Amino acid sequence: MKKILNVIKIGGNVIDNSEKLHQFLLDFTALPGDKILIHGGGKIATELGTSLGVEAKMVDGRRITDIETLRVVTMVYAGLINKNMVAQLQAKGCNAIGLTGADGNVIKAVKRPVKEIDYGFVGDLDATSVSTGTLDSLLSAGFVPVLCAITHDGATQLLNTNADTIASAVAVAMSSLYETSLIYCFEKRGVMRDIEDEDSLVAEIRMSEFDTLKNEGVVSGGMIPKLHNAFEAIKSGVAAVYIGKADELPQINGGNFGTRLIQ
């Protein structure tokens, strides 16, 4: 019987709010069993970059990572945010260890090829990117890995990689060793039939219902790629994917957290 592992991605708006982050990390610490935390921090990176004279360049919501931007996001994700989170988790009794993809060669990426747009120092992942051995060793030793959105190419170059993508890749890779759930925590309760109505939560979505919900407009905008990636993860061995509100994380074990995506 495989052990259970929760791979949890925390979104930027919770990271930006010290009270919400404190509560989330308390809830994360209280979650039983093996777990991995993954975070970004784009808003803080943008703010710090602006103060240093490095303006954020975005195309369709994706950050262009030139060399100056890479310096900023490395400082913010791998340094400021990651180490603050690890320090907070240690204070709460969670034996966290903060990592970039370069540490222990835990995530090796490939620089995104230049096509119509040059995204700069952005890393893409494939099925061989995640070192399950490193993560399994850390979990077995009682550590809780906290991964930031910085990876490397194995030839000295650090790369900026989307944190949602890292979470999915880690969950898929670890599903060969653990019964893995992938949990995306953000500001909404999950997938809503009416974005303005908190009570219109869609509690469960099967893969076969995805196209219908897209056609009905229930799933739209940025939620489409999020759900597409989630179902790809399920196809690749992840037991279940949840999308829900960060401050409702304690409900995950009761089975009524956010929207559950299943095969």
Q: Across the 263 residues of the chain, what is the mean pLDDT of every consecutive 10-residue run? A: 91 88 96 96 92 90 92 97 97 98 98 95 96 98 98 98 94 96 90 82 89 86 81 93 93 87 86
Residue 64 Cα distances to 24, 80, 85, angstroms: 29, 21, 26
Q: What pLDDT is attached to residue 2?
A: 81
Closest CA to 195 of 213, 220, 212: 220
Torsion sign, CA atoms 175, 243, 73, 110: positive
3-state SS class at 196: coil
3-state SS class at 45: helix
Closest CA to 244 of 229, 228, 226, 232: 226
The token pair that represents 38 in the structure block: 């993954």
The token pair that represents 115 in the structure block: 């096509």
CA 56 to chain centre: 21
* CB-CB contact of 242 with 252 (8 Å): yes
pTM: 0.94
3-state SS class at 231: helix
- How far apart are alpha carbons 258 and 249 in whole angstroms? 9
Q: What pLDDT is attached to residue 51?
A: 95
Q: List Cβ neighbours of 6 (8 Å cut-off, separation of 6 or more).
A: 31, 33, 34, 35, 36, 180, 181, 183, 252
Closest CA to 172 of 45, 72, 56, 36: 36
The token pair that represents 85 in the structure block: 């989170």
**Mutual orientation of helices 163-174 and 223-235 as an angle, nearest 10°?**
10
Strand partners, 150: 160
The token pair that represents 169 in the structure block: 């890749």
Q: What pLDDT is attached to residue 1?
A: 59
Q: How many CB atoms lie within 10 A of CB 177?
A: 15
The token pair that represents 244 in the structure block: 């829900």
- Which runs of consecutive H residues, i.e. helices, occur in 141-209? 163-174
* CB-CB contact of 152 with 108 (8 Å): yes
* CB-CB contact of 240 with 234 (8 Å): yes
